[in-house]
A and B are shown apart, each in its own frame.
Chain A
Amino acid sequence: MIYEVEIPRTLDLMQSVFYKSSPIKFPGFFLSTSTGRSALFLVLNYLKTTGIIKDKNTTILVPKWLCISLLHLARKHCSPILSTDHSPKMVLVYHQYGFPQDMDEIMDCCDRKNITIIEDCAHAYEGYYKGKRLGTFGSASIFSFSKIFPSIWGGGLATQNEDLYDFAQKEQDRNHLGWFSLFFHLTKYKSDKKRAKNRSVWNNLRDMSYGSVESAQKINTLSLKIISNNFDKKVLDQRRKNYLFLLDYFKNTDFFSSLEREGIYPYVVPLITSEKRLHRISEALLKRNINTGVYHFDINRNIFNPVFEKCLWVPIHQGLSIKKMSKICDTISSAS
């Protein structure tokens, strides 16, 4: 089965023990965390100390269709809202699938209304908006490496603010619980293994561990090694190659016409067409063991004025060779 992410193989994980890890590089200050959620926990905790989050009723504008566990975590500190009629104190700008939001419009709006920006770069470790790196626009940005690399775990926090970085380091030490971290990592590993026995039990245990995810703060050594190794192997270039291959294959259709070519290293590629056709393509892909589904993508790329359209995920991760990409493209083409 081909999934939207590269599934780690046990042998690869074992070999990873011998990899050399190196710190993750990002412009400004960067702190590795166990997950993107734990990074968000640190950012929101910091915003509490600065008075931006006064109490749990302080509002944060979030995009529609955001992952529940992020919302749960946010609610421990503040109140997520969807409505843009009320001026929020903070905004979580989500570069969905790695495609940048309209940062000019968003920055302008946030400057006028004094709104703090947190960038959710879970899908966009590397991505650019008008030549500027995603994750460098807001007060802080959060990352999730397990979406990009087969590392199972791993996240990060980037900021230009040294105070925030210092605070996050201390807070990370204070909140980290070793045994919980082990439990969290084990459940996530077992539930991510698509062929694991009793997967529902592992899924339940993983969901349980998400309830206290802020207690697993520090990045797992193995994950850091896998991430470092993937950076060394320049796997993101393969991801980009697959993306461009897909765009070129369908250049005579309007499936991907709204997507830019340059500066993008996507998590998955949203295919947009009529709903009927989306379901037809989805069925065809599933029949050929290519995991996908119909989701929603903000074609306006503006959290303050979003326009969500139904889309289909097309996987393009680095584990897919050009031959496999051809198979995916042929399937889409014949089903459409």
Chain B
Amino acid sequence: MNNNIKLEETFTWSSLKRKNINISKELFSERNGKQVFLISSEVAALDIIFSYYRECGYLKDKNAEIWVPERIGFRFYNTLQKKCFPSIVQSDVTKGIIVYHHYGYPQNMDKIISKARDNNWFIIEDCAHALMSYYNGKRVGFLGDVGIFDFSTFFPSLMGGAIVTDNNEMGEYIKDKLENDKTWGKNFFFIIKLFYEKSRNQNVKLFWRKWGEMSYNIYDSNYCLNPIVELIVKQKLFEKALGIRSENKDFFLNELSHYNIFNKINDHESVTPYVIPLIAEENQQKNILRQLSIIGVETSINHFDVNRDMINPNFVKCVCIPVHGGINQEYREKIVEAVIKGINCKS
């Protein structure tokens, strides 16, 4: 394999054929009366939801505070900022909470829901990394007032997302927004992302990256799902990409089970993760990172809340191990080998 392995699967045109698959049914079969809406991106989902909260008067103005987790991405933050005031601290005027199931591993929802209900906050579950995760047997994203999902983190679709809610009034609002969305952005952004992904020359890539950064500022104002994105998601569902992801996860957990690097998490089996956070000594993490980079795995040291509790978080450093469907058997073994080398390396 010549191409580098990224945390997400790379987009390809190959075998992109129309598949007779209903995305909503396939991905959200256990909807239990909740409404599902497919949408152009996760930030567009956020924009619609907060537009609704503003228009129905629940959020009075843009100073209405929403409690967000630490280390929230700035694109996510920027979208929120247009409608309310996202804050990493809670206050007397907090009106809602955004729960982020980092890498797909669920937060302590019992505790969070209880606190939110006590304070009369609405709960939005950010399931960008949790397309198919379960918390105490219940589907993540279905536990709060609204769940928002991102397809591009799980499939090489570049864009795409979904909203799940049981609020009928909000459902009508979203339907109306989708029906009246006549903006050109969904195609424009897709093209920019595609050019960025496909650029080989570093300078050209930088140019498109800049356009990508810029486009994020108005990314949220385009709601409908791009038809090519829809095709890719269907294709990947047909190929059982989520199953492959779970297989890859199980492979790494089994092969590396002796090294105590995944044991801070005890519910691996109920999660189809975005990546697996590998937690080890800091120098071991650096060595692992080096070894992975030698075999072409593009990853980095990030932070993971081992408490899984945004009320009382405990962020520790971790190396993200990719598990997406683009990783074949040969590469899985190479990754395991590199991780073991990194752990055993003395320097």
Contacts and interface: CB of A to CB of B under 8 A. Distances in A.
B88 A81 contact: yes
Contact of B78 (A56, A72, A82, A208): A72
Interface stretch (A28-36, A63-71, A231-239, A284-292): A63-71
Contacts of A65: 62-63
B89 interface: yes
B88 A75 contact: no
Given A208-B218, A211-B217, A81 B71 contact: no
Given A64-B63, A180-B210, A71 B81 contact: yes
A274 B78 CA distance: 33
Contacts of B77: 72, 75
Interface of A: 56-57, 59, 64-65, 68, 71-72, 75-76, 79-83, 85-86, 177, 179-180, 204, 207-212, 215
B312 interface: no
B214 A57 contact: no
Tell me if A's interface is mostly helix, strand, loop or mixed.
mixed
Contact of A76 (B62, B63, B74, B210): B74
Given A82-B91, A180-B210, A207-B218, 16 more contacts: A57-B70, A64-B63, A68-B81, A72-B74, A79-B87, A82-B85, A83-B65, A83-B91, A83-B92, A83-B93, A177-B210, A211-B213, A211-B214, A212-B210, A212-B213, A212-B214
Greatest chain A CB density within 10 A among B62, B93, B217 is at B217
Greatest chain A CB density within 10 A among B70, B81, B216 is at B81
B63 A83 contact: no
B74 A75 contact: yes
A85 B74 CA distance: 24
Interface string B198-210: 0000000001001
Interface string B90-103: 01110000000000
15 contacts: A56-B70, A57-B70, A72-B74, A72-B81, A79-B70, A79-B87, A81-B87, A81-B88, A82-B63, A83-B91, A83-B93, A85-B91, A86-B91, A179-B207, A208-B215
A83 B210 contact: no
B182 interface: no
B18 interface: no
A303 to B, nearest CB: 13
A59 B88 contact: yes
Contacts of B264: none
Interface string B63-82: 10100001100100110011
A211 B91 CA distance: 29
For chain B, the bracket of interface size reads 20 to 34
A83 B63 CA distance: 10
Contacts of A79: 70, 87-88
A232 B81 CA distance: 40
A80 B93 CA distance: 16
Interface of B: 62-63, 65, 70-71, 74, 77-78, 81-82, 85, 87-89, 91-93, 207, 210, 213-218
B81 A211 contact: no
Contacts of B87: 79-83
A41 B188 CA distance: 28
A142 to B, nearest CB: 19
Contacts of B82: 68
Nearest to B64: A82
A79 B70 CA distance: 9
A72 to B, nearest CB: 5
Contacts of B215: 208, 211
Nearest to A203: B218
Greatest chain A CB density within 10 A among B71, B87, B88, B214 is at B214
B161 to A, nearest CB: 19
A71 B80 CA distance: 11
Nearest to B90: A83
Q: Which 5 residue pairs are nearest across A and B when measured between Cβ atoms?
A: A211-B217, A83-B91, A208-B214, A211-B214, A212-B213
A76 to B, nearest CB: 6
Contacts of B71: 56-57
Given A64-B63, A82-B63, A215 B218 contact: no
Contacts of A212: 210, 213-214
Nearest to A180: B210
A80 to B, nearest CB: 8
Contacts of A71: 81
A86 B213 CA distance: 32
B13 to A, nearest CB: 27
Greatest chain B CB density within 10 A among A65, A82, A86 is at A82
Contacts of B217: 72, 207-211
Contact of B210 (A75, A207, A215): A215
A76 B72 CA distance: 11
A304 to B, nearest CB: 14
A332 to B, nearest CB: 26
Contacts of A208: 214-215, 217-218
Contact of B89 (A86, A209, A215): A86
A77 to B, nearest CB: 10
A209 B92 CA distance: 35
A215 B218 CA distance: 18
A209 B87 CA distance: 25
Contacts of B213: 211-212
B318 to A, nearest CB: 15
Contacts of A215: 210
Nearest to A179: B207
A149 B289 CA distance: 52
Contacts of B210: 177, 180, 212, 215
A204 B185 CA distance: 10
